[in-house]
C-alpha cells in the first residue's frame, strides 16, 4: 500500500518504483533467509559476551 502512496506522491509510474525497490526487497529476503537457516550468525555476539542460552 505504501508503494502506491509513494508512487502517487512522487508522481512516478508504479512500475518504475517497484523496479527500484526490488534490490532492497531481495536483500531483506536474503537476510531473513540467513537468519532463519543459520541462527548462529545472529547469536555470535551475545555468546561472545557470555550468553549461555
Q: What are the C-alpha distances in Å from 34 to residues 39, 46, 50?
A: 8, 17, 23
Q: At a CB cut-off of 8 Å and minimum separation 6, what does 6 contact?
A: 12, 17
Calpha distance 13→35 (Å, rounded): 34
Instruction: List, for residues 3-44, the tens digit of each pLDDT value.
Output: 999 999 999 999 999 999 999 999 999 999 999 999 888 989
For the question of whether the overall pTM of this predicted structure is more than 0.75, the answer is no
Amino acid at each position: 500500500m505504501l508503494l502506491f502512496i509513494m508512487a502517487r506522491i512522487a508522481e512516478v509510474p508504479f512500475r518504475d518504483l517497484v523496479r527500484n525497490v526490488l534490490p532492497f526487497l531481495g536483500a531483506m529476503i536474503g537476510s531473513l533467509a540467513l537468519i532463519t537457516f543459520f541462527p548462529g550468525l545472529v547469536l555470535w555476539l551475545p555468546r561472545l559476551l557470555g550468553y549461555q542460552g
